[in-house]
């Protein structure tokens, strides 16, 4: 609890935070003393969403905080806007004047309190006093998963290679008593994971396939596949300095999968969970795979390499094929896969792909209710022909300059056959500019929505 700057021990004490909007401003002011109302008037406080004002008491110390919510000028009402306060209020103990909305606001507070402090001292943070409740417990489960994923993404590649990512997954597995295994190095070839091996063989840090299994074998089977490219230089098709500078986040899909797994296991959801993470580093060396090379895949079809900087879909292909072999009831891939998705929808709105209409509707619903935005994109079948190769069963990219996120999803879809419900999420894994409850840096997109979906999954 304390790591999220929330306190249930003294929830009735602290400086009150009064939430209001333009319509309720007068009512909020009526609850203040006359000198405080004069202070608010002199401060020319305007109740625009995200605006706040610390109002002093008779001694000059903070006596109350006004915080404005509601729709902004574009009509957007940010459900996580309360997460703005931990980064701006003075360090002190606070409480909510409204006692009926603690759970969801506690999550926003926790997410907004996050700091990545592995290499530097964390800044002081205010504490929010909240009463115990089932909704609060759920918020803490989500916060644990989000913090784990953010920490993994924010850790630089020198301290977060394939072996360290395996260690993080193993630690999570041990915490929750799940089965755990990993296939590394040349054993990937022995165990028929040739594409994972091909991408990661150029690095001195051995590639591997991480496999975590938890839950009752008789429960609905849900398999998560997370892209774990711990650093992506682009390989021989090397990236320019700008795009390469953020490539520590290219294991954001793996981090998101582990964060989601943490939520599932902490909540003890009635599912049989499997997490598969192909963990590699895409490096440049004499052993690097090359454009024009042809490799077999786990599923069987041969794959021509069109560009070594499109490595993520290759490692996912083998992992998806492995996961699909046991025909899970739901198969999900999470990956920081394409720049094309960012061109189409920007950094804050990840696309997802599925042929399952019922599943698509549920994802769209939980994305709205979870304040975890997602947008469905089409698996447009005519573009599948763009993946043809004259010398192999397929190329893993297209030479067309269009629809890069769609064609990547179509490539992955070729490796899913037995699972009737498959959804692919092309996430960014990063917040480029800080916003309420979303500090700048690593971000676990989509997993709050997916967790909400799985809470209802039967």
Instruction: Enumerate the active-site residues.
Output: 239, 313
Give the whole-angstrom CA distance, residue 451 versus residue 447: 6
Interstrand relation of 127-129 and 93-96 (parallel, antiparallel or unpaired): parallel
C-beta of residue 249 within 8 angstroms of C-beta of residue 336: yes
C-beta of residue 280 within 8 angstroms of C-beta of residue 203: yes
Give the whole-angstrom CA distance, residue 171 versus residue 155: 16
Buried-state track 258-274, b at ≥16 Cβ within 10 A, e below 16: bbbbbbbbbbebebbbb
Q: Identify any residues that bridge with 16 across adjacent strands, giving them in sequence order.
A: 95
Question: At a CB cut-off of 8 Å and minimum separation 6, what does 45 contact?
Answer: 51, 53, 66
Give the whole-angstrom CA distance, residue 264 versus residue 333: 16
C-beta of residue 369 within 8 angstroms of C-beta of residue 452: yes
Structure tokens at 371: 């304040």
Place of tokens 């990512």: 165
* Closest residue by Cα to residue 445 from 307, 350, 368, 354: 350
């Amino acid at each position: 609890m304390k790591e999220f700057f929330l306190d249930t021990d003294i929830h009735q004490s602290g400086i009150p935070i009064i939430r209001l909007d333009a319509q309720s401003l007068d009512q909020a002011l009526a609850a203040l003393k006359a000198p405080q109302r004069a202070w608010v008037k002199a401060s020319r406080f305007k109740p625009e969403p995200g605006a706040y004002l610390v109002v002093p008491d008779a001694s000059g110390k903070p006596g109350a905080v006004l915080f404005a919510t509601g729709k902004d000028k574009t009509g957007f009402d940010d459900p996580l806007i309360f997460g703005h306060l931990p980064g701006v209020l003075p360090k002190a103990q606070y409480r909510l004047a409204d006692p009926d909305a603690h759970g969801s606001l506690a999550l926003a507070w926790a997410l907004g309190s996050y700091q990545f402090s592995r290499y530097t001292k964390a800044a002081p943070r205010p504490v929010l006093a909240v009463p115990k409740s089932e909704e609060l417990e759920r918020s803490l489960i989500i916060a644990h998963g989000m913090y784990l994923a953010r920490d993994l993404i924010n850790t630089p590649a020198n301290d977060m290679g394939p072996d360290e990512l395996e260690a993080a997954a193993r630690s999570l597995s041990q915490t929750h008593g799940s089965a755990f295994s990993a296939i590394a190095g040349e054993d990937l070839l022995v165990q028929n994971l040739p594409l994972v091996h091909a991408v990661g063989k150029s690095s001195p840090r051995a590639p591997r396939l991480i496999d975590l299994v938890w839950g009752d074998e008789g429960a609905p089977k849900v398999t998560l596949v997370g892209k774990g490219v711990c650093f992506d230089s682009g390989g021989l098709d090397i990236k320019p300095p700008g795009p390469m500078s953020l490539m520590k986040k290219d294991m954001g899909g793996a981090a998101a999968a582990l964060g989601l797994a943490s939520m599932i296991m902490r909540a003890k959801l009635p599912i049989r969970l499997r997490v598969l993470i192909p963990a590699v580093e895409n490096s440049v060396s004499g052993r690097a795979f090359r454009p024009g090379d042809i490799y077999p895949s786990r599923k069987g079809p041969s794959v021509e390499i069109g560009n070594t900087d499109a490595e993520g879909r290759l490692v996912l292909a083998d992992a998806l094929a492995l996961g699909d072999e046991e025909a899970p009831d739901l198969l999900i891939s999470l990956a920081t896969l394409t720049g094309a998705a960012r061109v189409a929808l920007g950094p804050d709105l990840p696309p997802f792909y599925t042929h399952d209409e019922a599943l698509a509707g549920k994802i769209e619903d939980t994305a709205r209710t979870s304040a975890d935005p997602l947008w469905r994109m089409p698996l447009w079948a005519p573009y599948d022909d763009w993946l043809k190769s004259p010398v192999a069963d397929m190329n893993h990219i297209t030479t067309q300059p269009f629809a890069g996120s769609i064609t990547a999803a179509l490539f992955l879809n070729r490796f899913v056959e037995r699972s009737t419900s498959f959804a692919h999420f092309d996430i960014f894994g990063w917040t480029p500019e800080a916003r309420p409850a979303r500090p700048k840096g690593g971000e676990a997109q989509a997993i709050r929505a997916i967790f909400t979906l799985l809470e209802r999954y039967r």
